[in-house]
Structure 1
Amino acid sequence: MPREWGRDPFYTFLQRERNDGYANLDALSFKLNYKLDKWRTKLFLGYGHYYLPPVSDAAANKYAMPSYRQLNLSWKYNFHRFLSGMDIQALYVHKAPLGPTPASLKYQFNKVNMSNYNLIINYVF
């Protein structure tokens, strides 16, 4: 089952983050959830530092991903009455490099120095 489906129990997991296929990885994350029952809303803040092996070490870092920090901000609303079981989530993710950025753009493009915006609609039967 993909980790994006919310089934991953690891403490350092943040949405839109993958740490598979690395050796000698150190990760540190902070997560904060706040539930507003009156408005059927949940707020989420996540922040992590991911210290990966050098991008030049293909055996330990097969995707050539530089070390990075990630910020997640999320707002989730649970519908009721006619739309009971449906929720909508707005998710913002930003990844930035930790330390000096590798000179080649192939180590940066779609890896660090990027933001990702998502609007997600879920329906649970």
Structure 2
Amino acid sequence: MLYRKALLAPAMISLLCLPALAGEGSVGISVSVSVDGIFSPTLKAATIKEVKPGSPAEDAGVKAGDLIRKIDDCAIPGCPGSRAKTLMDKAPGEILRLTLERADKRVEEVSIKVGRKPGA
């Protein structure tokens, strides 16, 4: 079992890079994910771990502890990890749509206007 966790680490690390997004875009969140599979992982769960103060995500009302249920139209659980990463890869000015489950079990869709990474 320890060996399997080690094999999953690269997929999890690439998905944990979501707050940075590729290129110059940033929404200001850190996301913890769990995946199913090794070579073509699918997301089992995704939880907002941190929302940076003053970030586009904070402005959109995203809170630590929110569960991500959809990235655009890709439902979690079941969204392929590669597709989730592609959907999260937005340039500054583009809109990232997330469907979130709040602590009180309410489900809401939020639209986050992607900002620039600090220093970009």
What's the TM-score bracket when you normalise by the shorter of the two chains? 0.3 to 0.5
* Structure with the larger helix share: 2
Greater RCO, 1 or 2 (C-alpha within 8 Å, sep 6+): 2
- Bigger CA radius of gyration: 1
TM-score, normalization: structure 1? 0.33
* Structure with the larger strand share: 1
